[in-house]
Amino acid sequence: MSKPFVLTVIGTRPEAIKMLPVVRALRAAGVPLRLVATGQHRELLGQAFAAFDEQPDRDLGLMTEGQTPTDVATRAMPAIAGLIEAERPALMLVHGDTTTAMAAALAAFHAGVLIGHVEAGLRSHDLARPFPEEFNRVAIDTVASLLLAPTAGAAANLRRESPRDRTIVVTGNTGIDALLHVAGRLDGGELARAGLAPDPAKRLILVTGHRRESFGPGFERICAALARLAARGDVEILYPVHLNPNVREPVAARLGGHPNIRLVPPVGYVEMVALMQAAAVVLTDSGGVQEEAPAIGKPVLVMREVTERPEAVALGAARLVGTDPDVIVREVAALLDDAAEYAARSKPVFPYGDGRAAPRIAAAVVEFLAGRGDTPVDFWQIGAGGRSQ
């Protein structure tokens, strides 16, 4: 039998961005680790790994064209179950709310392997939004024993839901670790080199949108809003369009060739951080971008009806605008046409983390595994940090 180790399974771009700081911190803490990619988002995952100069130890290559969440789950579960059976990890560490993470947690649960959940406790309290992510995160938290909550609010959600004996640690969100890591290394030439330099005479509106619950009518409304915003002569809209055909096709059909709107393929994470810095306003339905933009001091308008990330909304840095074109256009104008309003909502705020989440998570993992008694103690010794509650 091999030494006890942590198995980490990731499938998508945000998981790579938010788990690679954890992978590095675990390695720095001397924790043996295996990083497996399912390839739920094959191209996007590759871009995210490139930003951190990392590679998965193994890529299961499970992505199929036009896959549904059921396709992802039913292909990932047996593959991950086989890995668990062959390698018997001490801990399965998953991130967030993707179908890959849910399938990996469930496979570990069935095999009697302990589960740690990074970004535990986020709740919109609406199973339809975000779909299917709200179910995935509830399911993972139900079977996890080590719950690494990014905020006090997320930890409170977990405590409210279950009196079960489990370890809950507030760590901050590792997305902020990733953001600060990349932002600190920018040289200012990234956008020009990638052919993404914005028009200096215009104000940049950076858009991302890909949520499953917006497929169909939601995207029609989002496109209508962007077309109306583009009619303002003083803005340039840049939209890195997700590769999912349910997003790419309607967006290309409605907005392709539109003056003032640049549709580009998904950009690497380094370029994404540079674009957020260059933007005047960020318009998104993404979870991660809702966390990142406030830390860069960019007002973010969230094209959703509910969010599991209420902290930035409470601080005024983020606002929920849904997908109604009238509301989106009005809220963008409220920022762009009112300097005092813009100034008040564009101060950098850090409700999601201080950039030190990953070492806290590594320390929590070490302590958790040492506490199991079946793990050699000196194996887990680290110098970094302590338990943060």
Q: Applying CB under 6 A, which residues contact ligand UDP?
A: 13-14, 17, 175, 208, 240, 266-267, 269, 272, 286-289, 292
Smaller CB distance to ligand UDP: residue 175 or 250? 175
Q: Kindly report the CA angle at 345 between 224 and 122, in degrees rounded to 5?
A: 75
Catalytic residue list contains 119:
yes
Catalytic residue list contains 242:
yes
SS3 state of residue 307: coil
Catalytic residue list contains 133:
yes
Q: How far is the CB of 47 from ligand UDP (least distance, A)?
A: 7
Q: How far is the CB of 97 from ligand UDP (least distance, A)?
A: 7
Smaller CB distance to ligand UDP: residue 39 or 175? 175
227/325 Cα distance (integer angstroms): 10
Contact call for residues 375 and 90 (beta carbons, < 8 A):
yes
Q: Transcribe 155-212 into DSSP letters.
A: HHHHHHH--S--EEEE---HHHHHHHHHHTT--S-HHHHTT-PPPTTSEEEEEE---G
Q: How far is the CB of 79 from ligand UDP (least distance, A)?
A: 22
Smaller CB distance to ligand UDP: residue 84 or 311? 311
Q: How far is the CB of 196 from ligand UDP (least distance, A)?
A: 10
Q: How far is the CB of 267 from ligand UDP (least distance, A)?
A: 4
Contact call for residues 51 and 74 (beta carbons, < 8 A):
no
Catalytic residue list contains 254:
no
AA letter at 184: G
Q: Kindly report the CA angle at 103 between 101 and 109, in degrees rounded to 5?
A: 100
Q: How far is the CB of 35 from ligand UDP (least distance, A)?
A: 18
Catalytically annotated residue among 95, 117, 123, 133: 133
Q: How many other β-carbons are positioned within 10 Å of the β-carbon of residue 31?
A: 22
102/98 Cα distance (integer angstroms): 6
137/288 Cα distance (integer angstroms): 15
Smaller CB distance to ligand UDP: residue 5 or 271? 271
AA letter at 311: E
Smaller CB distance to ligand UDP: residue 208 or 323? 208
Smaller CB distance to ligand UDP: residue 144 or 295? 295
Catalytically annotated residue among 13, 15, 117, 119: 119
Task: Supply the Cα-derived Rg of the chain in whole angstroms.
Answer: 21
Which positions are annotated as active-site residues?
97, 119, 133, 210, 212, 242
